[in-house]
A = this chain, B = another copy of it.
C-alpha cells in the first residue's frame, strides 16, 4: 500500500477535526515529520487558507512530505453523522477518506466527531468482506499494562457473530501491532460461569470457545483493569458506558482531592508534592496518548482520536496509522476470517 518508489506511507490528516483544530493537528503533523519524514508523506485536509495561516514558511521546508488539500466544510462535534455525510459533501473527513478510496492515500487520521468519522469511513471505504459491523476499540490501563476494550460505541445492538468478529479483529491487531503472542480474550459479562448474562453473550461465548483464539471465558467488570485479559469484548452500548465512566474517574479524584485540601484535611505542604505524584499515577488513565481509538472492520485504515487530542496524540495517531498500513492488519484479518465459516445470522 505504500508508494512503490519511496516506501513512504501516505497519510491524510483531518486538519479540522479536534477541539483545538487546526493548531494541534498541524503541530502533531509537523512533529511526526520531524521524527520520521523519510517514511511518511502527509496530507493536511481542511480549509486551506486557515491551515496555511498557521504554517507560514514551514510548507516549503517539507515540500516532498507535506501537502494541503482543501476542504471547505467542517463537521462539528454536534453534527449528526448521517446529515454531515449528506449535507456537507465537501467536509474534511469526506475529502480525506475519498483520497484513500481513490488510492491517493493509505490511511486517514481524525480527532473529529467520532460518529461522523465512523459513518464516513464505513460509507466511503466499505466493510471488509465477511465483517458484519466495524468496531471501535479503546485502551484502558491495567495491572499488566493495558486492556483493549471493544466495542465502545460503533455497534450498539450486537449479534453474537459481531462480538466474535470484534474479538477476531482485535486479536490480529494486538498480535501484530503489540507483538503479543496469544492475546487473552475475555467476554465482558456479569459472572464467570458460561451460562451467565444475556442471550447474546451466551451465544457469543460458544462461538469464541470453539475458535482457535486464546479465549479465557467470561470476565466481569472488575477484570478490565486487573490485567486478566488483553482484550475485553462487549457490545457498543456497554463498552461506551464503561469507557466514558472510566474517563470520568480522573475528574472525580481531582475533585475529591481538592475537597479534602479545601477542608484543610491535608497539610498544606503536602498538597504541592501530592499533586505532582497524583498526576504521574493517573496519567495512564489518559488513554488518548496511546494514539487514538481503534476503528477496525472497514476496508481501509482510519484512526479516530479524542476531540481533545494534543499534538502528541495526533503524532501518535499518525505513527499508529503508519504501523497499521505497514503491518497489513487488514490482510491478516481477511486471512483469519477464512479460518471460520461465518454462517451466522
Task: Please tell me if A62 contacts chain B, counting CB pairs below 8 Å.
Answer: no
Please name the residue on chain B nearest to A270 by beta carbon: B273
A226 / chain B contacts, CB cutoff of 8 Å: 248, 251-252
Interface residues of A in 317-343 (CB under 8 A from B): none
Q: Mark A127-162, 1 if CB is under 8 A from B, else 0.
A: 000000000000001110000000001001100000
What is the count of identical protomers in the complex?
Answer: 2
Alpha-carbon distance between A159 and B142 when the two chains are bound, in angstroms: 34
Q: Mark A223-238, 1 if CB is under 8 A from B, else 0.
A: 1111000000010111
A19 to chain B, nearest CB (A): 16
Contacts A245-B221, A260-B281, A284-B256 given; indicate if A240 touches B190 (C-beta within 8 A).
yes
A300 to chain B, nearest CB (A): 25
Contacts A197-B237, A198-B237, A245-B224 given; indicate if A270 touches B277 (C-beta within 8 A).
yes
The count of residues in chain A whose C-beta lies closer than 8 Å to any C-beta of chain B is: 50
User: Are the C-beta atoms of A156 and B197 separated by less than 8 Å?
Assistant: yes
User: Are the C-beta atoms of A190 and B266 separated by less than 8 Å?
Assistant: no
Q: Mark A199-221, 1 if CB is under 8 A from B, else 0.
A: 10100000000000000000011
Alpha-carbon distance between A246 and B136 when the two chains are bound, in angstroms: 22
Task: Please tell me if A249 contacts chain B, counting CB pairs below 8 Å.
Answer: yes
Alpha-carbon distance between A220 and B198 when the two chains are bound, in angstroms: 22
Task: Please tell me if A123 contacts chain B, counting CB pairs below 8 Å.
Answer: no
A237 / chain B contacts, CB cutoff of 8 Å: 190, 197-198, 201, 238
Name the one of B141, B247, B265 contacting A222, with C-beta atoms under 8 angstroms: B247
Q: Mark A287-302, 1 if CB is under 8 A from B, else 0.
A: 0000000000000000
User: Are the C-beta atoms of B245 and A246 separated by less than 8 Å?
Assistant: yes
User: Are the C-beta atoms of A244 and B222 separated by less than 8 Å?
Assistant: yes
A280 / chain B contacts, CB cutoff of 8 Å: 260, 265
Mark A residues whose CB is within 8 Å of B.
141-143, 153, 156-157, 188-190, 197-199, 201, 220-226, 234, 236-238, 240-249, 251-253, 255-257, 260, 265-266, 270, 273-274, 277, 280-281, 284
A–B complex contacts, Cβ < 8 Å, 8 sampled: A156-B198, A198-B237, A221-B240, A221-B247, A224-B248, A234-B241, A238-B238, A260-B281
